[in-house]
Structure 1
Amino acid sequence: MYSVRQASAADLAGVRAVANRFGNLSGWPQRPDYLDREMANGRLHAGFAGDAVAGFGATFARGGLLHLADLFVLPEHQSSGLGRSLLESLLPRDAPRVTFASSDPRALALYVRQGMRPVSPLLYLRGPLDALPGHGSRPAAVTPTEIAGLDADVSGGRRAADLAWYAGLPGVSAYRLGDGYAMARESGGVLLVGPAGGRTTQACADAVLAVLARHRAAGAARLCVFGPNPLLPLLLAARFTIADLDQFLSGDGDPVALDRYLPHPDLG
């Protein structure tokens, strides 16, 4: 017997166990992590097989846009209808909504049946920083408030509280260069860049490359890049490799600037 409801603090250990089965917390070495943020500022629903957590889903809001950040069901409970129930409880069909679908064809089909459409591949890149070209401009360290407007322009809606929460974590910095911005986190010897973007594709590229140059001592970096972003071929030419691939789906037009926005893998 399956059921779905808003997750409580008592359910979080079960949610974390599901997340760990899929390796979702590998990039979050300490708490608070993105699941804590989903619990505090998003909508986190748990799916149960009897009394045990068998799956979970969560959304973040960016203005009027809903980003489905998570939808995971344990393998032994997949194809049971639990994933569909979680999705229906989180995403109204009449709401602007986006998500990153895994490579599992069943997940893609589930989202399409819910009225979403595949728009672009989202590539997870990882590579060394020593092969990137130098950048003549140094980005300015700023507060999250100073980049909130730029982020809203490219990501589909304003989320000042989420940016401030992320900036408050150890190792996280926010930068601005002209009409571009980027947030970066050094953790475990790797620099994670995102969210990042700009009012133009050039402003986006300049900001990201300047931040990568500023943190060259980190040695390696990870980024999420949509297929149309002109940074993609540049990074691949600099010995970055594609570590994973998702499909970006949207349920209402094209609210995200695919050619000048780099999302955070967990915060969207």
Structure 2
Amino acid sequence: MREVAKRFGLLTGWSGTPDFLDAERSFGRLLFAPDETGGALGFGGTLRRGSVTHLGDLFVLPGHQSAGVGRALLAELLRESGPKVTFASSDPRAMALYVRHGLRPWTPLLYLTGPAAGLPAPPARRTRAEEVATLDARASGGARPATLAWYAALPGVTMYATDRGYAATRLTGHDVLIGPAGGATPQDCADAVLAALAATRARTARIALPGTHPLVPTLLATAGWRIGDLDTLMADEPGLALIRPDRYVPHPDLG
């Protein structure tokens, strides 16, 4: 499965194992479609947050696309009860497949990059994963204390908190990835992200923001910030009711 992931550039930003595939295997489901030799034609993975199923991955090698492999993987991955969410790529075939399985496009998910310094921010304190687990559950739609603890233990990861918000950072060299992050209100989430950015002392930052998040206009009005890519946040209606895209910042790979 990692060979397939490498073909699609999915392991960029992960310096080694453990990586997001290990997270899916430990805290959700990880399935692959085998070829004749036991290798993978494609794979899919989910992560659970309480009752929410986050579809993190569904990839099929180009020579085997549109042959039913993706449909079979998706039907098995989404058979669990409860709300479903995913970040769909711009491939119209993928979006149509998700729609046929009950998901609907709701808002863009914008992948922004820019300078980490220079933005006004409140003070942040370092914290532990268990101390932000309840706030994360309210913002993200479901509890996942084990996943948060697993991520917080990885090299370069630090959890920060403000009075009513939190943000996880992962520092790689001079670059920092923000997420997950959340807050009791949209402004609390924005303050926590800005506080974490200031605390990391990184040069550049990466963050995935739902289109309705208040940080989108703030960052894009700041010199050096730009949209590098975008996906579409898709959910069935109960899923969107649980997730708060105006006060939650997902991790690009962990949801």
TM-score for both structures, normalised by structure 1 = 0.91
Which residue identity is paired with 2:101? Q
Tell me which residue corresponds to 1:30. Answer: 16
8 Å Cα contact 1:93-1:115 kept in structure 2:
no
Corresponding residue for residue 71 of structure 2: 84
Distance 2:159 2:63 in 1: 41
Runs of 4+ aligned residues of structure 1 deviating over 6 Å after TM superposition are none
Match of 1:159 among 144, 151, 168: 144
Structure 2 Cα separation of the partners of residues 108 and 221 of structure 1: 28
Residue of structure 2 in register with 1:222 after alignment: 206
Distance in 1, Cα, partners of 2:116 & 2:26: 35
1:230-260 deviations in whole A, cap 9, x for unaligned? 1001111112111111011112331210111
Equivalent in 87, 109, 115 of residue 128 of structure 1: 115
Q: 1:103–1:214: structure 2 CA closer, same or farther, 3 Å change rule?
A: same
With over 3 angstroms needed to count, the CA separation of the structure-2 counterparts of 1:93 and 1:33, relative to structure 1, is: closer
**Which residue of structure 1 aligns with residue 26 of structure 2?**
40
Please tell me the residue identity of whatever aligns with 1:194. G
Partner SS, residue 39 of structure 1: helix
Q: How does the TM-score come out when normalised to structure 2?
A: 0.95
Corresponding residue for 1:63? 50
Residue deviations 1:30-54 (CA, integer Å, cap 9, x gap):
2111111212222000012323311
CA distance in 1, matches of 2:162, 2:197: 13
SS at match of 2:194: helix
Structure 2 CA distance for aligned equivalents of residues 241 and 83 of structure 1: 32
Contact map agreement 1:190 1:218 (CA 8 A) in 2? yes
Assess if the C-alpha contact under 8 Å between 1:44 and 1:57 holds in 2: yes
Please give the alpha-carbon distance, in whole angstroms, between the structure 1 residues aligned to 2:230 and 2:15.
Answer: 23
Residue aligned with 1:109, SS: helix
Task: Give the stretch that moved more between structures: 104-113 or 231-240.
Answer: 231-240
* Alignment length (residue pairs): 251
* Partner residue in 1 for 2:157: 172
Stretch of structure 1 that moved more, 230-239 or 219-228? 230-239
Distance in 2 between residues matched to 1:168 and 1:88, nearest whole Å: 33
Q: Contact 1:180 / 1:206 at 8 angstroms: preserved in 2? A: yes
**Runs of at least 5 residues in structure 2 that lack an aligned partner in the other structure:** none
Letter in 2 for 1:173: T
> For structure 1, which runs of at least 5 residues remain unmatched after alignment?
1-14
Q: Which residue of 2 aligns with 1:235?
A: 219
State the distance in 1 between where 2:210 and 2:23 align: 24
**Structure 2 CA distance, aligned partners of 1:188 and 1:112?**
39
Identity, % of aligned pairs? 53
| CA RMSD across the alignment | 1.2
Whole-Å separation in 2 of the counterparts to 1:106 and 1:93: 23
The offset of 1:145, in angstroms, is 0.6
Give the letter aligned to residue 138 of structure 1: P
- Residue 9 of structure 1 is matched in structure 2 by none
